Amino acid sequence: MRVITVSQLNRYVKMLLQEDAALTPVYVSGEISNFVNHYKSGHLYFSLKDENALVKAVMFRTYAARLAFRPEGGMKVIVRAKASVYEKDGTFQLYVEDMQPDGVGALQIAYEQLKKRLQEEGLFDAARKKALPPFPTRIGVITSPTGAAVRDILNILARRYPPAQVVFLPVLVQGEGAPPQLVAALERMNREKAADVLIIGRGGGSLEELWAFNDERVCRAVAASEIPVISAVGHETDFTLCDFAADLRAPTPSAAAELAVPDAAELFLSLRQTQVQLTVLMRSRLEKVRTELQILHRQKALSSPTYYVEQMAMQLDLLTRSFEHSAKTALQDAHAQLSALAAKLDALSPLKVLSRGYAMARTDGGRLVTSVADICKGDTLYMDMCDGTLVCMVQDIQKEGTDNG
């Protein structure tokens, strides 16, 4: 009987699996579960399952970095892997080298995932959009130097708005090298303030060919641009994430050129119409002024200034005499009213009453005596007459209705 260790057993099983051509590689479809992304290491750990079974799997950082999308729990995928055993604990698992979504393309999933994430960040909010300048003097163009897009853009800009200067930065528009060049061109345009408005884009193509304009780095550079950006990628039916991040989306590169600048011919026509309107208004105004001058010329003030001055002097004399008469009448009325008020005041004066033989009695404290009840026998009274005061002593008090005998 041959006895082997656990390590030997696991190593032997691992060797059998690795030497089995049917298992190296093996393509397995299933649903991701127990998904763990170790961000520090970059390795992905998960399980694949179907209705009846489950198998553990690992995807190391080297392979995970090549994925165009982010795996998630519940996602159905097809993996290319090698079946093996982890010697330390004897766990049977798949070592995944590639992964594709089952049914939907990886790029499409990556597109939707990034779109959702950037949208939640607010990168596509309408409030962030900048308005295009109405009359730009410099148009920045970022695209391939060899495609039809740049020819269309330059031709339309030259035809519609000849005064504008075109600042062209040639870049790659597809492939792995495209995103860094697109970002560098955007940053350079902003750093040098080289343009008033930017056009970034390319002609039509497949999702893979347009993928540089779905790159997160490009989207963020477009959104961060201080210069307004028009995105013109592909045909009218093509939508890239760059379109959502830009200040304005054009369905085609040709349309972007038309949106970037006004039409010089239309401007000239508008100016011509404005000129005609101003001419009509000026003529109308001049005619009105001419009529007013003719009316003034027929008036005496201009035809005979001396006569006009004499008439004004006569009116001034009439007004002066009228004012003097009114003032004299007003003074007379006021004097009469004052005399009447003085007579009334004199009639009510206490001195007037005293002059008729009456007197006012006061105590030595100055209190006015109005009744015999206010004094006592022996009190000193001061009798105010019209021409002086008598000092009297009360010897007797006789109330009305009493006999003094």
pLDDT at 177: 94
Q: What would the two tokens of residue 169 be?
A: 């930065």
Point out the residues of the chain with pLDDT beneath 50. Answer: 404-405
In a domain, 42, yes or no: yes
64 and 116 inside one domain: no
13 and 56 inside one domain: yes
Query: What's the CA gap between 85 and 363, in Å, rounded?
Result: 137
pLDDT at 216: 92
How many beta carbons lie within 10 A of that of residue 21, not counting itself?
Answer: 7
Q: In terms of DSSP bridges, do strands 138-143 and 165-170 run parallel, antiparallel, or are they unpaired?
A: parallel
In this structure, what are the phi and psi dihedrals at residue 280, rounded to the nearest 5 degrees?
-60, -45
125 and 253 inside one domain: yes
DSSP 136: -
211 and 88 inside one domain: no
In a domain, 332, yes or no: no
pLDDT at 401: 63
Q: What would the two tokens of residue 179 be?
A: 């995103």
> Any idea what the CATH number is for the domain that residue 82 is in?
2.40.50.140
Look at residues 118, 271, 259 and name the one whose alpha carbon lies nearest to residue 200: 259
Residue 232 host element (H or E): strand 229-233
- Find the angle CA(390)-CA(396)-CA(401) to the nearest 5 degrees: 110
22 and 129 inside one domain: no
Q: Are 236 and 251 in contact (CB under 8 A)?
A: yes
pTM, two decimal places:
0.54
150 and 240 inside one domain: yes
- Crossing angle of helices 216-224 and 178-191, in 10° steps, is 10
pLDDT at 390: 82
**Last residue in a domain, options 103, 123, 140:** 103
Query: What's the CA gap between 211 and 239, in Å, rounded?
Result: 11
**Last residue in a domain, options 103, 132, 162:** 103
Query: What's the CA gap between 117 and 214, in Å, rounded?
Result: 13
160 and 72 inside one domain: no
Query: What's the CA gap between 343 and 352, in Å, rounded?
Result: 11
Domain count, the chain: 3
For 58-69, give the secondary structure using H, E and C: EECHHHHCCCCC
How many beta carbons lie within 10 A of that of residue 157, not counting itself?
Answer: 21
32: containing domain: 6-103
68 and 137 inside one domain: no
pLDDT at 405: 42
**Last residue in a domain, options 244, 262, 280:** 262
In a domain, 283, yes or no: no
Query: What's the CA gap between 174 and 166, in Å, rounded?
Result: 23
